[in-house]
Amino acid sequence: MTYFRVDYKNAKKFCEESFIRVGFSEEESQIISDVILLSDLYGIESHGLQRLKMYQDNIKSGLVKVDKKADVVFETPVSGVLDANFSIGHLASHQGMSLAIKKAKTTGVGIVTVRNSNHFGIAGYYSKLACDEGFLGLAFTNSEALMVPTFGILPMLGSNPIACAMPADPYDFFFDASTTVVTRGKLEVYKKLGKPLPKGWAIDQDGNISSDASEIIDNIKEGRGGGILPLGGDNENLGGHKGYGYGVLTEIFSSIISLGMTSNQCLKGDVDGCCHGFIAIDPNIFGDSKLIKDHLSNFLQELRDSPKAQGQDRIYTHGEKEIIAMKDRLDNGIRINEKTMNELYDLASNLNIDIRAYFKERLE
């Protein structure tokens, strides 16, 4: 697969323009694009511009309602519930975590949950919002069902990521992981690349391990059975029931406490309806946040410095690879594969955007 490099700022401006063209304000388009482009900056190709066509398709089909906004429907000094009214997930989630942060600034803790939403991009973006304020941030989301529970054959849970970010030097701790072995986005990338899936990622409708990304994605869409495995695999021997349990934990903080749609109900009719959860915690409620930050920084350094396994020369802490990728992308441009590039050209043409005014892509 051929890859191109595109200047980050120009790519972001193009992304913003695409949202302005379909009715979002300039400020809204900036927030949405900030979420999408952070993913590309961090080297998480699956959730970056690779998804722009999907977002725009969902706006066109009416799944994502441009004219709707999220409302706060319940609130206490430490909590909030938002109804996103099927508006775009990125904005409802930005509002949700911002509210959690606001509450944490007053009480020390904010827990906000969002129902009736749509895809929100990478969970880590929202935990990072809290981290950038000096807080411990957590973000959760469910999604259309694609994870099969242990001993099950029908997807009942989403990829259900848990993201956590906390200030540290020289790299913040930034952990963003689906509770499945891999995300659907990763399957989409394998499909685009025409590569077979590694064993242990997904099962087909008969429950057999499958390496066919197209088949798995189609089966999930059509509800034919089969799906992505929970972290830990297809039985209890290596802990598949643990990934499944973390998946339920994510439902609790997203769909359950918001009284929203659980993953198995999402995207079943003419709405998505997925739900999110956001937690911001001020470390000062446990003492001196400066000492706490130093303590975390030291531990992460000890992890990186610890002895390496044979054939390995580096132990990463979470967030380190993202910083490395970001430096590269800021210097050399974000990476866009050929298929995604074609989608972006088509999209620009449909939206009457002169993509050449933004992109001066070069082959990698």
260 with 271: CB under 8 angstroms?
A: no
State which of positions 183-222 bind its own copies (CB under 8 A).
198, 200-201, 203, 206-207
Pairing state of beta strands 71-76 and 227-228? unpaired
State which of positions 239-258 bind its own copies (CB under 8 A).
239, 241-246, 248-249, 251-252, 255-258
State which of positions 150-169 bind its own copies (CB under 8 A).
150-154, 156, 162, 164, 166
Q: Which of 113, 143, 210, 254 binds its own copies (CB under 8 A)?
A: 113
Pairing state of beta strands 136-141 and 274-281? antiparallel
Q: Which stretch binds its own copies (CB under 8 A): 8-16, 94-102, 179-187, 331-339?
A: 179-187
Residue placing its CB nearer to its own copies in the complex, 116 or 150:
150
Binding residue count for its own copies, defined by CB under 8 A = 85
C-alpha triplet 111, 114, 118: angle, nearest 5°: 145
Does 111 sit near its own copies (CB under 8 A)? yes
One-letter amino acid for residue 325 of the chain = A
State which of positions 289-348 bind its own copies (CB under 8 A).
291-292, 295-296, 299-300, 302-303, 306-310, 312, 314-318
How buried is residue 267: exposed, middle or buried, by Cβ count under 10 Å (0-12/13-18/19+)?
buried
Tokens at residue 218, please?
């189609």
Q: Which of 67, 269, 270, 287 binds its own copies (CB under 8 A)?
A: 287
Cα 102 from Cα 190, distance rounded (Å): 40
Q: Which of 1, 72, 193, 238 binds its own copies (CB under 8 A)?
A: 238
Cα 337 from Cα 98, distance rounded (Å): 33
Residue placing its CB nearer to its own copies in the complex, 259 or 324:
259
